[in-house]
Chains A and B, each alone.
Chain A
Amino acid sequence: MNDTPRILIAEDDVNDLMLTRRALSRFRQGLPVKDFQTGVAILEYLQASLPLEQTAEQRPGLILLDIKMPLMGGLEVLEQIREKRLCPATPIVIYSSSQEPRDIARAYAACANSFVRKPGDYVQYMEIIQRLAAYWLDTNLTGAGLSLQFSEQGAAGLG
């Protein structure tokens, strides 16, 4: 049994977190999910536990970042992750209630893998989170069983 979290979530709104966790457990019961209430906490976790040479089984399959969090928002977390090249093979999805063009532009400038707007409606919310999990965990290839090598220059020019 592998208890390494498959999904990491940074989300300060406990209500949204409950809905997200509910959707994920509906997608796959017992899916290991780890959540963080602040951007700083998820960054510290990533820095402490994710050396570059991790294999696919050890690295999370998806990171979900909320934008609006105190102290350090999701976009800043994303930029830090890219700048420090913390987990190059893990897709990072920005999900937020907002859909401001400048947020979207900033997310993609920092190589977000996806930008998703949290729907206001419960049914849609559940569906979108499940669809996200299905795509990024099951369809998307992150090199399962392989030890991906990343060059030091890989992320040059970012940020």
Chain B
Amino acid sequence: MIQIDRLTEPQPQGSQAWYQDIVEAQDEWVCCLGPDGSLRYANPASLGTFDLQRIDMPGQGWWSMVHPGDAPGVQASLAQLSPANPLVEIESRVFTAQGTVVWARFSCRGLFESAGQLVEIRAVGRDISDRKRAHRELETFSHAVSHDLRAPLRAVNGFAAILLEDYGTKLPAECVALLERIRDAGTRMGTLVDVLLSLSHLELGRIPDQQVDQAGLVQDVFAALQALNTTSSPTLVVHALPVCLAQPLLLRQVWQNLISNAIKHSRHRADARIEVGCDSAGPVPVYYVRDNGAGFDHQRPGASLDEGQGVGLAIVQRIVERKGGRIWAQSQPGAGATFHFTLAPESSRA
């Protein structure tokens, strides 16, 4: 292996050979191009993958390896390069020297002279075929889920609703109550299926984040949960919550699970109180849901989040982690519980 030679003869730190070594040992494709796509430099990984002779032919250029179907998109992305916007990400199919087609993702950085004229493009790329394949499988899966789960669910909650509509007055009260349970459970599961679908679309990078008014969302979620809660009437206190960038349906699911959990664990108290807020002192906002309910021993492994939460919690964890955030709980038996979560990596500002 090449690396072994290098290891036996380390280059003086800071020397040109040392820098060159860093670039040449990369598994990723590193290329420098003229504005016309002519090749100025390619590292060994690129040399091993692409037919550089073809690229070197007059009138061909680096972009000749781009699949014709993706070429217009690539051209359009590169045309966006400017001193104010020097970095573009490109995904396209490319031809390898063996004639096969792989999916590649390139980060292209433009270098500009003082007048703003593009003088060089530095492209770093990698093979993302596996990811693309996984996306396609996920797409097939979400298609199947959306159709095959939603249709029977619609039948469950729909026919229960029809029975209530058409025969509600003729049925005994207990029968009506049971039908209402079927209808509501079906509707709730329908929402979960929708959330699962949103999650898979999120994985596919298809749903753009939106500005979400969290205070409104929390009030909304609480009202919807209380409409179903006949056993307690907790007081909800909502402290200031910042507007945040997120996928509304998913963020709703996070709040809904945590608030519903708080309602559940505090419902034995006449003075049940749920406090929702945000601590903005740290590098990223830390949201919390606090109740004065039964609490739990959070030292006990497996305690905390997963009790009685099932799919709901798994979803919440996925959503939060997908945003780079985390979720944790603090509690003592009898002293209520507080669930915290963040929606951004703590090393960065949200």
A16 within 8 A of B: yes
- Chain A: which residue is nearest B153 at the CB level? A120
B97 within 8 A of A: no
- Chain A positions within 8 Å of B152 at CB level: 15
The reply to whether A120 and B193 form a contact with Cβ atoms under 8 Å apart is yes
- Chain B: which residue is nearest A22 at the CB level? B162
- Chain B positions within 8 Å of A121 at CB level: 154, 157, 187, 190
Given A97-B146, A98-B146, are A16 and B162 also a contact pair (CB < 8 Å)?
no
Q: Secondary structure of the B side of the interface? A: helix
- Chain A positions within 8 Å of B146 at CB level: 97-100
A131 to B155, CA, bound (A): 20
For A96, A97, A123, the residue with the greatest tally of chain B CB atoms inside 10 Å of its CB is A97
A59 within 8 A of B: no
The reply to whether B206 and A120 form a contact with Cβ atoms under 8 Å apart is no
Q: Give 1 or 0 for each of A35-48: 1 = CB within 8 Å of chain B CB.
A: 00000000000000
A108 to chain B minimum Cβ distance, whole angstroms, is 17
Q: In A77-104, which residues have CB < 8 Å from any B CB?
A: 96-101
A121 to B183, CA, bound (A): 10
Given A99-B146, A120-B193, are A15 and B153 also a contact pair (CB < 8 Å)?
no
Our pick among B142, B151, B157 for the contact of A16 (Cβ within 8 Å) is: B151
A119 to B152, CA, bound (A): 12
- Chain B positions within 8 Å of A100 at CB level: 139, 142-143, 146
B163 to chain A minimum Cβ distance, whole angstroms, is 11
The reply to whether B147 and A15 form a contact with Cβ atoms under 8 Å apart is no
B159 within 8 A of A: yes
Our pick among A19, A101, A119 for the contact of B206 (Cβ within 8 Å) is: A101
What residues of chain B have their CB less than 8 Å away from a CB belonging to chain A? 139, 142-143, 146-147, 150-155, 157-159, 161-162, 183, 187, 190-191, 193-194, 206
Other CB < 8 Å A-B pairs besides A68-B147, A97-B147, 8 of them? A13-B151, A15-B152, A96-B147, A97-B150, A101-B206, A120-B187, A122-B183, A122-B187
